[in-house]
Amino acid sequence: MMPISPQAGLCAICQHVRVIESAKGSTFFMCNRSKTDARFPKYPPMPVLRCGGFEKRS
């Protein structure tokens, strides 16, 4: 697994994130909660410092 950018904030350690790497080498953090809850953007602006949906990855 690729190293996760600390610039992502909470998303970097959240169990609901999906990390996507583009062909050009950019990294995107997609919030899986966005699929079932409209309060969460698909690609949240980084860094996410507070989030009601955050759950730490175990």
Contacting positions for ligand SF4 (CB under 6 A) = 10-11, 14, 16-17, 31, 33, 40, 44, 48, 51, 53-54
In terms of CB distance, is 23 or 49 closer to ligand SF4? 49
Question: Cβ of residue 39: shortest distance to ligand SF4, in angstroms?
Answer: 10
* Residue bearing tokens 């759950």: 55
In terms of CB distance, is 5 or 53 closer to ligand SF4? 53
